[in-house]
A and B are shown apart, each in its own frame.
Chain A
Amino acid sequence: MGPLAINEIISENTNFFLAFIIGIAFGFVLEASGFSSSRKLAGMFYGYDTVVLKVFFTGAITAMLGMLFFSLFDWIDLDLVYVNPTYLTSAITGGVIMGAGFIIGGYCPGTSFCGASIGKIDALIFIVGLFIGVSLFGAGFNWWNGMYMAKFLGSPKISEFFGLTDGVFALILILIALGMFRVAEWAEKKFPREEY
């Protein structure tokens, strides 16, 4: 609850409580939409089920449009919204490791807890792997600290990189997303899988 907590409109404890409630609601929706099934999630990479792509991209473009309209109506100052700083090397390395783990394990970190909460054994094993990975990363941090901090780019925006306004970039991204959805539905027909 970013601005409410930072501006001390709500206390830190209330903030945690709201996070707890929102977390439960998020997990519930995630599970109800079938995101606790590793077969469904991994289907993204084999083409038989692309719901992950559709849900997350729809979420992204909806949030993007919402933020841009909020900014237009002066309800939010986008310059004050925290953007994760980009460390290019670790972003690429992390993306590759995360992607490989996603294909092999069939979960991403959030959905693995979602699966574990309904007793999925593969999700539990995934979480064990996740903790091993986190521990190794922490224990060996001195070794890859240099790589971890390499190629710091600040908080760049793709729209700035291409010299576009945020609005024009948003429209382009929407069209790209819709094009991808079309390809995704074509893939689902092309690579069907009966039971999963």
Chain B
Amino acid sequence: MKPRLWLAAFIVPLGLIIAAVPQNTTHPYKLSAPELLSEVNTRTQFITPETVADMIVKKDPVLQLIDVRSQDEFEKFSLTGAINIPLTDLLSDQNVDLFDQDVKMNVFYANSTLMANEAWMIIRQLGYTNIYVLEGGLNYWFDVILNPKQPSSTSSDEELARYDFRRSVSQALGGGPTLLENNENTASPAPRPAIKSIPKKKKAAGGC
């Protein structure tokens, strides 16, 4: 028998085995520190409140909001359709399926961006894609989506369009229980106005 056939008889079955078994993915970190730093520097993880609000209103099935605050806080107020994964439970087994997919956009949020960023960094390090952070957190969300400030009349058209959008979204989303005191619209539930989308600026989505 020729050496080549000996080699083939030995090495092809090994190749078949290694091709058939799933890749070992138990290694903790998929991104090197420089890669992560580059993502942090370019702020690719952030998604603007407007984009999220637009998706919520349109009931975009791709959006998966994840509230990383404690359960108490989540029950007091949460964004529409959000699920609660407190930071302490982030790595529990049942959450793996949530992150290990390419379809949904997982958007972390907390009161500010700190905890959401912590969650993002851990999950991103594990190599999962489609992980984002709500820019500014809930505090910023209240400021710009639920209580948008009217821009001065000299503002640019874009600024005014954004305000229009924010106001209509604010009315559509109605605000949570914490907003009842300071939202005059909720006193008389008016028919919800149609949402005018602001022209989207394409943003390079994160991932790789």
Seen from chain B, the residues whose Cβ lies within 8 Å of a Cβ on chain A are 2, 4, 7-8, 11-12, 14-16, 18-24, 26-27, 29-30
Contacts and interface: CB of A to CB of B under 8 A. Distances in A.
B24 A71 contact: yes
A58 interface: yes
Interface of A: 58, 61-62, 65, 68-69, 71-72, 74, 77-80, 165-168, 170-171, 174-175, 178, 181-182, 185
A184 to B, nearest CB: 9
B19 A65 contact: no
24 contacts: A61-B15, A72-B18, A72-B21, A72-B24, A78-B27, A79-B29, A79-B30, A80-B27, A165-B19, A165-B22, A166-B23, A167-B19, A167-B20, A170-B15, A170-B18, A171-B15, A171-B16, A171-B18, A174-B12, A175-B15, A178-B7, A178-B8, A178-B12, A181-B7
A63 B2 CA distance: 22
A110 to B, nearest CB: 23
A37 B27 CA distance: 44
Contacts of A182: 4
Contact of A167 (B11, B18, B29, B30): B18
Contact of A185 (B4, B20, B21, B24): B4
B30 A68 contact: no
B65 to A, nearest CB: 29
Contact of A174 (B4, B11, B29): B11
B21 A167 contact: yes
B7 A58 contact: yes
Given A79-B27, A166-B23, A68 B4 contact: no
Contacts of A71: 23-24
Contacts of B11: 61-62, 65, 174, 178
Contacts of A170: 15, 18-19
Contacts of B19: 165, 167-168, 170-171
Contacts of B22: 165
Nearest to B16: A171
A167 to B, nearest CB: 4
Contacts of A78: 27
B24 A174 contact: no
A171 B19 CA distance: 6
A165 B30 CA distance: 15
Contacts of B24: 71-72, 74
